[in-house]
Structure formats: structure tokens, C-alpha cells
Amino acid sequence: MSAVVDLPPTRPASGAQRPGFFRRLFADYGQELVVLAAVVALFIVVTMVNPRFISANNLTTIFSGNAYIAVAAIGMAMVIITGHIDVSVGALIGVLATISGTLAVAGYPIWIAWLAPVLVGMAVNACIGGLVAYARIPSIVVTLGALSIMRGGLISVTGGTWITNLPPSFLIAQKSVLGLPVPLVVMVVLTVLAALWMRYSAFGRSLYAIGGNAEAALATGIPVERRTVAVFVIHGAFAGLATILFATQLQVIQSTVPPNLELTVITAAVIGGVSILGGSGTVIGSTLATILFATIGSALIFVNVSAYWLRAVIGLLILATVLADMLRRRGRI
Amino acid sequence: MSAAPYVSLTGMSKSFVGVKALKDVSFDVRPGEVHALLGENGAGKSTLIKMMSGLYSPDAGTITVDGKDMKFASTRDASAAGIATVYQELLLFPELTVAENVFLGNYPRRPGGWIDWAEVRARTRALLDQLDTFDLDVDAKVLTLSVAQRQRVEITKALSKNARILIMDEPTASLVESDVQRLMAVVRQLRERGVGIVYVSHRMPEIFALADRVTVLRDGGYVATRDIGEVDEAQLVSMMVGRPIDSLFPKADAKIGDTVLEVKNLNHGRHVQDISFSLRRGEILGVAGLVGSGRTELALTLFGMTPATSGEIVLEGRTVAITSPRQARDLGIAYVPEDRGQQGLVKQMAIRKNVSMASIERFSAGIFIKAGAEAQRALDAVKRLSVRCRNIAQPVGELSGGNQQKVVIAKWLETNPKVLILDEPTRGVDVGAKAEIHTIMGELVKQGVAILMISSELPEVLGMSDRVLVISGGRLTGEIDRADATPERVGMAMTAHQSGEAA
Amino acid sequence: MNWKSLLRHETFLALLLVVVLIVLSFQSDRFFTVSNLLNQGRLMTEIGLIAIAMTFVIATGGIDLSVGSILGLTAILTGVFWQNIGMPLPLAAIAAIAVGTLAGFANGAIITRFNVPPLIATLATLALYRGLAEGISQARSVRGYPDWFYVLGQGEVLGVPTQLWILAAAAIIASIILAYTRWGRTVYAIGSNEVASRFSGLSVEKTKLALYTASGFAAAVAGVIFVSRVSTTRSDMGTGIELDAITAVVLGGTSIFGGRGTIAGTMIGLCLIQALKNGLSLAGVKGDGTIMLIGAVLILAILASNLFERSGTR
């Protein structure tokens, strides 16, 4: 054994070998860019077929009508990034909408009707998160149970009646700020804030760590249980915010759970690039994916395809995205 | 340079589910020394370092840091006391960047609680530069890095917490030679700066090149601590195994017969390149090579896990194409894998079910399993291989490493293999069971089985094999007969071609 | 040790079922009558068939969310093949079942060939198959099936609802396969340690492909029975049934991570759910309030058996 070993002085310049901006962008946001490209391509093609597609009216419909899904998907993305899943969010939104609407009709101050769903959402998900983190029941089982409880509870309490006579000041989703519809503004603002928070805050980064390798996260000193509860609580807050947009977009609230809403929300998160195995993905992707679904739905109408095919098209698209992602991964390894 | 120890552990004991993992062990580390911790698998090294790093709490014993008694309730406490660990299985987060991994859990903050990312990147850069690691981008995601680079990140992470003591658990186990040299340089540099290093390794040359002192553990007990100048390799080995080395490796004399397996110009990817050899009935063919040299990949290709892209496999005179483990099994090739827990066993399942797993068709009438026959065979196997267990319904996961390994071997013997590939057959196996496994191998070759044995332990390869194949960089770099196989010759061949392979 | 704790979960569940049955029969005279119990059996057949196949799928560590959509697609196709294409009804039903089975096969192919996690793959096909059902039906329902067709869903054989015979046969065959054959052994092995299974020469891919195909087949048969029971086809049939089936399976002690579970457990779970639904509605609890209780029972049962298990190992 020679005592002195010369180190290969590979790159003397400190911080060298930084890949270019676009390379980095594509490496970090590959899936998001694919979804974005799909949205843009769809807009171009459909507008060529039918120019009315790009009218202000239609754009408002596309973005505003689905903003609540995007908002719910932000929280869902965080949950999935942490390595969990929530199949009860659709039922939760149904319950919260009914609570919110009932309070508004009963004459409580409007701000209470808006605040209540957020707080209740956080409380409900604190219970779910607690069962997942401390009782160690898999999140899919807990939320499956929560789904039944909330779905059943909602219908048995309300009997499926509709809430009408909502006070006009309650219907915030139908208002505009600076000429832009409120849901669109809320969706964009929340997405940007959540994305920054996930990328740059210690909390956000720890979620990636937990989802990537929970044991290692524990060994690194991250309080995994507390973070797990916290991420469910935050997800509950987003569900509450989504509820406000959902409950105020029409003059009535149907006191039932929107069918399959939880699957739509999960799908948005996953198509946006969140790995179902946890540890990777962004909230920007989930919002873009929501926009993509909405665009497809609207596009089918504008190219005269029966809306009944919408789900089939979305299903095919999801499948194509997933397969492409798998093939891309296989190519990388 | 015999300063007062920075950390000392006295009378440490620890049991797991009734099994004593560590009995009354004492150990200390001084600033600016490399203290090697030596012992066979299961000797208690990892239990000891896990207590030092706060992962386990001891049942008895005291930890003193800088003269003060301490209790580590978590890894946090240990790292606050200046003790950091670079684990064997690196605890990094592949989706996060280098800089994030280094500071995860204790980011520098700006007022308002936001992370100061510029500071994170700058400090990571500075720490990497201190380690002469100029070629690592602080913004690269860890999943894009090589093993050696990841290890550098782990060390950087330890340094970021101002570690006074750095525990390195088999740091060179999966490094190629050039990276080993670089790592050793880093270790020396840290020692110069006054960091105390606990260095766990099996590799004698490294220990003699680096260590100032060495402590040996055996079967959970303390054996001795010596200055490195006082001991030689043979003494250390006999301290580790607790008896003179000569009695190890009872090589049975078996009659070597006709060629069973002939491999010509086998290729798969980078790790199996142009490999040719033949294997005869009753022969033990040892395969030596560093981790990552392509030893296991060769086995996986023969076993159909990663089918050969070109080349020829001739089994008993017939050219065969092996495309799946199932087919390999049907042809009479068995593979006892390297990763016992993941690849070899279904730990939750009973011994009985594990034993029949690879030959379930033989225990079936139509699609139905003949439970009686299955149980009888399992009983026989347990008796023949002297597997120590409560009964055959016991889940395999509850057995000790050596007994688990015997179950894997039993599983494959049920298929009546002509060729038995053993990948690290005695890794993580205690000394007694190790000898038993070697005896089993001897009996098998007497019955005419041909054995291909892959091992990282040179003494095992030299002691057990009739011939030794040496693999380096995916290529065959030596084929040495038992008579000519010396550690030097095999060692030379193991590192051949390595110089060209930098990370 | 392992199978003992499993047994404990099932014993616990069976006791719970007995308690529930007793309590409910005190609550209402009409609960513990032969006709009511048989009628409940009729109602749980579709979920039961799906849950049996789902037990296998979950025991391998997988999941199949698309079963409800396959059920809907099969139902729609039965009607379309018969009324719009003019096939004889038996042939139409068989053809529809074949398509449903193919849908399951496609799930398996996506999961095994492309290594897509089952949750994602079947989430995608859930949308796809339901979308196909909606697209093909264009929201039109098919009615007016010949009377003999209703034997399957509304008739009786030897005094027992027709479909209950089918469910019982399926349950018996499935539990024999899972407990006594090498296929069953392979299922548990894959669920416990897929890598080791592959290293032991078990045909992991083929097994999984077969299971997802079987899951599609079960959902398809359930679809035809559903049509026969309610006398009509609509594209939203079977929505959410996947969650009901998964609840029954998990309640029955099958580990969501795979490697553990029995058909007996699933059937007890199924009966418990159905008894609760029926008993509570007889006791005057509003229809969907019962679903609530099922959710609570699911969480509590898993919680309880988790605690049992922990106390067993420590």
C-alpha cells in the first residue's frame, strides 16, 4: 500500500459541470412539460377546427368550472408525495359543501360559511392522519373507511336534498377580481404558493424525503409521524378551499358526493407527474393535468364528439401518459 | 498521539427478542485516530455502531462523550454530540439534490423560517471542495450519482454537522479500486483535521493502511483492542474466528467427473463480457472478484434472470437458451442468491413452504399440494442440513442467518440440481453454521453436483475451490488451479483492468 | 405464528358477525327470517363475486379498481349486443362477458408488461372502461329482456336465489384453490416477496396476468347478474362497487400489502357488511346511514387486529 495517493484533480473549477437551464428544466419538470405541451397542442388543434373554442367565454368555463379540482389536487399531490393516498376527498368535499351551504342559508355571516369547511376539513383529516401515522393503518384502508362514513353520513343526514336560496354574497366563485374569475385566480395563486412552498421550505422538502425513504427520513431526524399528520391536515385545508369554489359556483348545492371525484383528483395528481410510490412530483403538474382534463372535455364538444365519450378519451390519455412515463423511466435506467 | 478519548463506551450490552447481540463490550475513539472495528458478520459490530449513533439504546452500559455521561434517545442526540455515521446502505434521498441531502433536517434559515438556499448551496460547495470533490454538482439529484459520489455526499453531510467522530460502516464494500484509493485519502485528510474515525471493514489491506488501533469483536463479545503495529493479519483473523485458521474450510475430496456445464463467450450488458469456462461434476469452481465486478451478474445470466444477449451455454452436451429462472430450474440449475432476505426467502412463510417453493410441482397431484409429502420432505431437509428451528411451521424470518441460509439451500436441493450456484453462501452466517454449510457443499460434490461458488472472502474461495475464476470489470481475468491459487495471484487478477474504470 | 394471528382476525370477525346477527334479530322480527336472509344473499352476490377475485389480487399485493367499470361495460354490452346488433341473448351475454374478461386481461398486461403499479393502471382503465360504457350507451338504457333471463337475477333454484348458488360455488372453488393448490401458494408467495418468488422459479407474471383476467371475468359475470336482477342496463351500473369489494376483502383480514388473506375471511366480511346494511335499515336507520357504520367497522376492525398483532409480537 503506497502511503501517498494522488487524487485525480478532475475539475479544478468549483461548481463546474452545471447542466444548461433547459436541460435542468426538463429533468426537474419533464412530466409537467409534457402535460403543458398536450394542453397547448390541444388548444391549437381545436381552435383550428372551431375558432370559438378560444373565446373568453369558453376559457372561463374551462378554467373556472374545474378550478376546485385543481385546488383539491394540490393537497392530494402533497399526500401522495409523502407516500400516502386519500380516496375519501370526494366525500369530504361533499360533506364540507353541505356544511358551508347550510351555514350560509341559516344566516350566519358569510365568512363563517367560508371558514367552516376549511376548519372542518382540517379536523377530519387530522383524525385520518393520526390513524395513519400513529395507529399505522395503511392510508388506503383508513380513507376507504372514511369514504364510507362520510358518504353514508351525508346522505342519511340530508336525504339527498338540495340546498337552495343561497345568499348571493356567498357565491364567490361567480365573482371576478381585476376582470378575472375568482376560481381561476384562486387556483393560480394557490398553485404558485404551494409549488414554492414545496420546493423551498424545509417542510416541503421533508415530505419528499419521507415519501422517498421513510426510514432514512427518521434516521435523519425528521419527525415522520408529525409530518404525516400535518400533511393530511394541510390536504384537509385545501379540500376546504376547493369546497368553497365548488359550493359557490352554482345557485344550489347538491347534498350528495360528486361521484368519483376522489379518483379524478388522484388522477390529476398522478398524471401531473406525482409518483404513486411517493417521493417525487410537483403541485404544478397536478394543476396542469386538471386543466388538460377540462380542456379535453370542452374540446370534445367543440369538435362535435358526444360528451359521453369524454371519460373514455380521458382514460386513454391517462393510460398513454402512464405508459410513456414507464417507458421513459425504463430508458433512463 | 494518545489523546484522551472523545467517545468511550463501557460495558455495552443489547438483546433482541431474547438473543444477546452484544455482551459487555467497551470501545473508545480518540480525536484524530482511525479506530478499526473488526469482526465477522453477526459479531456485533453493527449493533455497537448503531448504539453509538443513537439508533439503538443499550440495555446496559454507559456512553461518555468528552468526559460527560450521555444518553442517546435518537440519532439527533448523537449528532448533537458530534457523532455522525456513514451507513453501508446509504441513507440518501434520490429525488433530492446533493445540497438538500447534505442539509436536510438542519437547513440554515433566513428570518421568517425560510430556508436560505443560497447559503445551503454555498456551504455544500465549500464542504465538497474541502474533500477535494470539485466534480460534484451541488444541484444534481442524488439518483444521478455513482455509489462513490453518494458516499462523498454522506461524508459531506456528516461534516456539515461538525462531526467530531465519523463512523464508517464498510465504506469500501461496493467501491471499485480507484474509488477506494480516493476514499482512503479522504479518511486520512479527516484524521489530519482531528476527526476520530470508526472504520468498519473486512478488508485487511485497508485496515493496515489506515488504522491506528483495531478492536475485534466475536459473537457479540469483546475480544481485544490493539495498536496496529502490534498485530499481523493472521493474528487478527484468528481473533475474529476464535481458532486457528487452518481448521476452517474442510475441503472434501470428491471425484471430479465429466463436464456438466460449458459456457462460451457469454455476454450480458457491461457486467458480463465474453465469459467462457467449464464446470465438471463433483467440482467446486470458485468465483472471485470485487463487488461490482460482474460476479453476481454472471450468475444471474446463467440462471436466466437476465438472459444472455449472446454466447452459448452447453449443459450436458446440449446447447440451451436460458431465458427465465423457471427454465433454468427445469434444466437443473439452482441459484442460492446473494441477498437472502430479498431474493432467497419468503420470510413470513413457514420453513415447510419455503423448502417446497422451487419444486412445488413435485409435491403436487394435479394442482393440489400434497401437504403430507411436503411436510415429510421439509422434516428430512431440516434434519439432513441440521436447521435449528422449533418446527417446520416456524416462519423462516425467525431463524438465525445461518439457518435461513440452510433453508435456501434445502429449497434448491429439492430440485435435484446438476449445477448449484452459490452466491456468497456464508455472508451473514456465524462461524459454526459457516463450517456446516461448507460441509454440506462437500457432501454435495461427493454426490456429483457441480458447484459454482461466488464469494467475497478470499480465504473461503481459496479454501473451498478446486479451481478459481477471477472476474474484473465484467471480464474473466484469471483461471487458476487450486495448487497455484495464492492470495496474491487471485488478488492481482481481481484488480486487473480496474485502473481504466474510473467513476 | 403468522397464520395463528390470521386465524385470530377471522375468529374475531366471525364472533362480531354472530353478535351483529343476534342484536339485529332482536331489533326486528323480519330480520332473521329465511326469506329476508335469502334476499340479502341475492343482494350481495355481485359484490361477493368481485370480492372473491379481489382477494386473490390483493393477496398478491395488487389492487383492481376497474372492476366497477368492467361491470358497467359488460352490462351495457349485453344490452347492445342483444338489442342493437341482434345477437341471441345468451350469446350476447357470453360475448359481453368475454369482453369484460378481455378488459381484465388488458389490466394484467399493462401491469406485468410495463411494470405500471396496479393502482395507477386500474385507475386509468377505471376511467377508460366506464368511458367506453358511457360512449357506447350514449345514456340510453336497455329494457324489455325476455322473462327467462330474469331467472338468473330474480329467480330461485331449489328455493334459493339462483345467483346465490353461483356465489357459493365460486367461494368454495376459490377457497380450495387458495388454500390447497400450488396456484394459491404462488399467490401468497408473490404477495409476501415477489423477488424471491421470481428467484424460486415461480411464474410471477403469468400468475398476475391470470388473476387480473379472472378479476375481469368475475366483474363481467357480476355485470350480467346485475342486469338480470334489476331488469335494465345503464352505463353507471357498478359505480363504486370496487370500494365495497375492497372493503369486504380488507375487513376479512386480507393484508392490503399482500401475502395474507383467505376467502372465508372475505365472505365473513361480506356477510357482516350486508347484515349491517339490512339490519340497520330494518331497524329504521335511513338507507345510507348504514354505509357509515361499515366505514367505522372497517377502520375499527383493522385497528383491533393491528393491536392484537402488535401485542402478539411484543
CA A315 to chain centre: 18
pLDDT tens-digit series, residues B413-443: 999 999 999 998 987 776 677 888 888 999 9
Which residue's C-alpha cell is 431440516? B382
For C151, residues 6+ apart whose C-beta sits below 8 A from its C-beta are C162, C228
| Cβ within 8 Å, pair C180-B368 | yes
Which residue's C-alpha cell is 353507471? C236
| CA gap B219, C250 in Å, rounded | 43
**How far separated are the first and last CA of chain A, in Å rounded?**
36
pLDDT tens-digit series, residues A57-114: 888 888 888 899 999 999 999 999 998 989 899 999 999 999 999 998 888 898 998 9
Whether this model's pTM surpasses 0.90: no
Three-state SS sequence of A143-164: HHHHHHHHHHHHHHHHCCCEEC
For position C94, what pLDDT does the model report?
A: 95
| CA gap C66, B445 in Å, rounded | 53
pLDDT tens-digit series, residues B400-411: 778 899 999 999
pLDDT tens-digit series, residues C69-122: 999 999 999 999 998 888 899 999 999 999 999 999 999 999 999 888 898 889
| Burial class of residue B24, CB neighbours in 10 A (0-12, 13-18, 19+) | middle
A contact chains, 3+ CB pairs < 8 A? B, C
Computed over its alpha carbons, how large is the radius of gyration of chain A? 22
| CA gap A313, C131 in Å, rounded | 7
Helix (H, G, I), strand (E, B) or coil at B330: helix
Domains of chain C with bracketed CATH? 2-307 (1.10.3470)
CB C70 within 8 A of CB C53: no
| Burial class of residue C86, CB neighbours in 10 A (0-12, 13-18, 19+) | exposed
Which residue's C-alpha cell is 404558493? A193
In degrees, rounded to 5, the angle at the alpha carbon of residue B232 between the alpha carbons of residues B227 and B235 is 100
Q: Which three cell numbers stand for residue C251?
A: 375487513
In degrees, rounded to 5, the angle at the alpha carbon of residue B306 between the alpha carbons of residues B301 and B312 is 45
Amino acid letter for position A148: S
For position A257, what pLDDT does the model report?
A: 66
- CB of A17 within 8 Å of any CB in chain B? yes
Q: Which three cell numbers stand for residue C97?
A: 362477458
Scored b (16 or more CB within 10 A) or e, A211-229 reads bbbbebbbbbbbbbbebbb
- CB of B182 within 8 Å of any CB in chain A? yes
Which residue's C-alpha cell is 411451521? B393
Which residue's C-alpha cell is 331449489? C158
For position B250, what pLDDT does the model report?
A: 67
Instruction: Average the pLDDT over each of A1-15, A25-39, B277-291 and give the range with the smallest value.
Output: A1-15
For position A63, what pLDDT does the model report?
A: 83
Number of alpha carbons in the 13 Å side-chain half-sphere of residue B399: 34
Instruction: Provide the 10 A C-beta neighbour count for residue B55.
Output: 18
- CB of C38 within 8 Å of any CB in chain A? no
| Cβ within 8 Å, pair B141-A19 | no
| B377 or B241, greater pLDDT | B377
| Burial class of residue C66, CB neighbours in 10 A (0-12, 13-18, 19+) | buried
Return the residue in B75, B104, B178, B501 with the most chain A beta carbons within 10 A, the one to mutate for interface testing: B104
For position A228, what pLDDT does the model report?
A: 94
Q: Which helix or strand (DSSP H or E) is residue C156 part of?
A: strand C156-157
Scored b (16 or more CB within 10 A) or e, B374-386 reads bbebbeebbeebe
For position A60, what pLDDT does the model report?
A: 81
Amino acid letter for position A159: G
Model confidence at B211: pLDDT above 60: yes
pLDDT tens-digit series, residues C252-276: 888 888 888 899 999 999 998 888 8
* Mean pLDDT estimate for chain B: 84
| Cβ within 8 Å, pair B137-A206 | no
> Chain B partners of A217 at a C-beta cutoff of 8 Å?
93
pLDDT tens-digit series, residues B35-48: 999 887 667 888 88
Return the residue in B360, B374, B399 with the most chain C beta carbons within 10 A, the one to mutate for interface testing: B360
Return the residue in B109, B135, B161 with the most chain A beta carbons within 10 A, the one to mutate for interface testing: B135
Which residue's C-alpha cell is 434559515? B109
| Cβ within 8 Å, pair B115-A200 | yes
CA A41 to chain centre: 23
pLDDT tens-digit series, residues C16-74: 888 888 888 887 777 778 888 888 888 899 999 999 999 999 999 999 989 999 999 99
CATH code of domain A52-332: 1.10.3470
| Cβ within 8 Å, pair A10-B93 | no
Of B295, B297, B300, B256, residue with least CA distance to B279 = B256
| Cβ within 8 Å, pair B93-A201 | no
Q: Which three cell numbers stand for residue C179?
A: 388454500
Of B153, B223, B227, B159, residue with least CA distance to B194 = B159
For position A158, what pLDDT does the model report?
A: 79
| C5 or B113, greater pLDDT | B113
| CA gap B479, B473 in Å, rounded | 15
Look at chain C and count its residues. Answer: 314
Q: How far is B114 from chain A (nearest CA, A)?
A: 6
CB C254 within 8 A of CB C59: yes
Of A166, A168, A186, residue with least CA distance to A176 = A186
pLDDT tens-digit series, residues A234-250: 999 999 999 999 988 88
* DSSP state letter for A253: E
Of A115, A110, A43, residue with least CA distance to A288 = A43
| B490 or C80, greater pLDDT | C80
Q: Which three cell numbers stand for residue C85?
A: 346488433
| CA gap B291, B376 in Å, rounded | 39
Partners of B197 in the beta sheet?
B34, B166
What's the whole-number mean pLDDT along residues B463-474?
89
Partners of B365 in the beta sheet?
B368
| CA gap C62, C55 in Å, rounded | 10
- Nearest neighbour of C128 by CB, restricted to A150, A152, A319: A319
pLDDT tens-digit series, residues B362-393: 888 888 988 889 999 999 999 988 888 888 98
Instruction: Provide the 10 A C-beta neighbour count for residue B122.
Output: 15
pLDDT tens-digit series, residues A154-202: 877 877 788 888 888 888 888 888 878 888 899 999 999 999 988 888 8
CB B148 within 8 A of CB B182: yes
Q: Which helix or strand (DSSP H or E) is residue B315 part of?
A: strand B310-315
pLDDT tens-digit series, residues A105-115: 888 898 998 99
Model confidence at B51: pLDDT above 60: yes
pLDDT band at B249 (very low <50, low <70, confident <90, very high): low
Size of interface B-C (CB pairs under 8 A): 76
Model confidence at A295: pLDDT above 70: yes
| CA gap B40, C73 in Å, rounded | 61
Beta-strand relationship, A180-181 and A176-177: antiparallel
For A28, residues 6+ apart whose C-beta sits below 8 A from its C-beta are none
Nearest CA in chain C to A128: C299
- CB of A10 within 8 Å of any CB in chain B? yes
| C155 or A229, greater pLDDT | A229
- CB of A251 within 8 Å of any CB in chain C? no
- CB of C253 within 8 Å of any CB in chain B? no
Of A224, A248, A289, A293, residue with least CA distance to A114 = A248
For A261, residues 6+ apart whose C-beta sits below 8 A from its C-beta are A69, A72, A89, A90, A93, A94
Scored b (16 or more CB within 10 A) or e, B86-119 reads bbeebbbbbbbbbbbbbbbbebeeeeeeebebee
Return the residue in B333, B335, B348, B416 with the most chain C beta carbons within 10 A, the one to mutate for interface testing: B348
- CB of B325 within 8 Å of any CB in chain C? yes
Amino acid letter for position B274: D
pLDDT band at B503 (very low <50, low <70, confident <90, very high): very low
Domain B7-243 has CATH 3.40.50.300: yes
Backbone angles phi, psi at B268, to 5 degrees: -155, 110
The residues of chain B that CATH labels 3.40.50.300 are: 7-243, 248-332+417-503
CB C255 within 8 A of CB C159: no
| CA gap B157, B147 in Å, rounded | 15
CA B272 to chain centre: 21
Q: Which helix or strand (DSSP H or E) is residue B8 part of?
A: strand B7-16
What's the whole-number mean pLDDT along residues B330-347?
90
Model confidence at B245: pLDDT above 60: no
For A19, residues 6+ apart whose C-beta sits below 8 A from its C-beta are A27, B137
CA B40 to chain centre: 11
Nearest CA in chain C to B414: C200
Residue C307 CA: distances (Å) to CA of A125, A127, C302 = 22, 18, 9
pLDDT tens-digit series, residues A300-331: 878 777 778 877 887 887 788 778 777 766 65
| CA gap C209, A95 in Å, rounded | 39
Q: Which three cell numbers stand for residue C104?
A: 381484465
Q: Which helix or strand (DSSP H or E) is residue B452 part of?
A: strand B450-454
> Chain C partners of B398 at a C-beta cutoff of 8 Å?
1
For position A253, what pLDDT does the model report?
A: 82
What is the third-level CATH fold of B248-332+417-503? Rossmann fold (3.40.50)
Beta-strand relationship, B60-65 and B68-70: antiparallel
pLDDT band at B176 (very low <50, low <70, confident <90, very high): low
Chain A residues 70-89 within an 8 A CB cutoff of chain C: 85, 87
For B10, residues 6+ apart whose C-beta sits below 8 A from its C-beta are B26, B61, B62, B64
For C188, residues 6+ apart whose C-beta sits below 8 A from its C-beta are B349, C59, C259, C260
| CA gap C275, C36 in Å, rounded | 10
